[in-house]
Amino acid sequence: MGIKVLRTYKVHLPHASNVLKAIREIKKEDPDFEMYVMLGAWIDCKNAWAEEPDHNAESERNEVEIATAASLANEYPDIVKVLAVGNEAMVKWAASYYVQPGVILKWVNHLQGLKQSGQLPKDLWITSSDNFASWGGGGEEYHVEDLEKLLRAVDFVSLHTYPMHDTHYNPDFWGITKAEESLPKREQIAAAMERARDYAISQYQNTANYIKSLGIDKPIHIGETGWASASNGHYGPEGSKATDEYKEGIYYQLMREWANEAGISCFYFEAFDEHWKDAQNPGGSENHFGLFTIDGQAKYALWDLVDKGVFEGLGRGGQPVSKTFGGDEAALLKEVLAPPVKE
């Protein structure tokens, strides 16, 4: 199966109906408008988010999620091109809700069956969006029979990789060497960010190697990757010193270049900051993954597109798209910290 997805929006069910209606209205006004949706059904275990989640049983809600996703795929076949069963639903660090691979397999097989019987569009792709480890690129605890069956059942693999998080949780790759300590700050950061990109590539490649070792040939798509521009926690000034607009911009560019060269589809997370992700902590990293601020300013990663006039006539809240820091790179760099020196 060849995969070519342009201008694709990744959305989960609570927002899906409004998004799909909006896209259809735009398409009516402009027949040349092209946007597709990868629609995610939330999957979790029984008693998820409670004190004692049961990871060997599934939530009763899962059936409703799958039925709703299938219904929307039939209602909007020209827009919904992918159904994803679960989002980081198998990775074991999701301790509040993760399920075993057999649960995802059950619903993937169900949807594939609907497709084969003509109850879903025949060109609809079925997958699950999950961390690289869940797809076999991590520890051997993930290498179970149901995962192998799942890899054979999906139409492609949607893999998440977030090196930024591992600047705290698995920081062996992160930072600068003693030899790089004397370099200018820009060069220090460039070296560290290239290693972060290589770390993401290694997660992708480890997954690909595992899948190949099973004799399975499936396309692997990067379902999510990104880098936050701020953090008052693990990744900020008191932590790994990983988050700022400058590093975010470099990661964005490096990942785009690699994905384009390798011919890999990639969802970059995300377009706009989402202040609701960690509403109790405005400075939390989860609120700052956007390439635009919440009020529509383009962060450093997109400054060159502002200069090229790509956003001409567009805006948010009645204000045209402008650059953060007023486009003053020197002012931006004053707030950027060099990565820590590796021992």
- How far apart CA 120 and CA 70 sit, in angstroms, is 7
Please give the pLDDT value at position 8.
Answer: 54
Helix (H, G, I), strand (E, B) or coil at 183: coil
Q: How confident is the model at residue 6 (pLDDT cuts 50, 70, 90)?
A: very low
- How far apart CA 256 and CA 243 sit, in angstroms, is 19
- How far apart CA 150 and CA 23 sit, in angstroms, is 31
Structure-token match 């820590």, residue found: 340
Is the whole model's pTM more than 0.85, yes or no?
A: yes
Average pLDDT over residues 254-275: 95
Beta-bridge partners for 58: 45
Per-residue CA distances from 58 to 55, 93, 111, 129, 230 (Å): 7, 17, 17, 17, 35
| Segment 14-66, tens digit of pLDDT | 678 899 999 999 999 999 999 999 999 999 999 999 999 999 999 999 999 99
Q: How confident is the model at residue 10 (pLDDT cuts 50, 70, 90)?
A: low
Determine the length of the chain: 343
Please give the pLDDT value at position 15.
Answer: 76
Q: How confident is the model at residue 281 (pLDDT cuts 50, 70, 90)?
A: very high
Please give the pLDDT value at position 4.
Answer: 38
Q: Are 164 and 248 in contact (CB under 8 A)?
A: no
Please give the pLDDT value at position 278.
Answer: 95
| Segment 62-110, tens digit of pLDDT | 999 999 999 999 999 999 999 999 999 999 999 999 999 999 999 999 9
pLDDT at 2 over 70: no
Which candidate, 165, 170, 195, places its Cα nearest to that of 285? 165
Domains of the chain in sequence order: 8-334 (3.20.20)
Please give the pLDDT value at position 59.
Answer: 98
Please give the pLDDT value at position 123.
Answer: 96
DSSP string computed for 191-213 = HHHHHHHHHHHHHHHHHHHHHHH
| Tokens coding 270 | 């995300």
Please give the pLDDT value at position 183.
Answer: 97
Q: Are 312 and 322 in contact (CB under 8 A)?
A: no
Average pLDDT, the chain: 95
Which DSSP state fits 41?
A: E
| Segment 144-179, tens digit of pLDDT | 999 999 999 999 999 999 999 999 999 999 999 999
- How far apart CA 325 and CA 245 sit, in angstroms, is 10
Please give the pLDDT value at position 1.
Answer: 34
Longest dimension (CA), the chain: 65
Per-residue CA distances from 8 to 33, 80, 257 (Å): 12, 9, 19
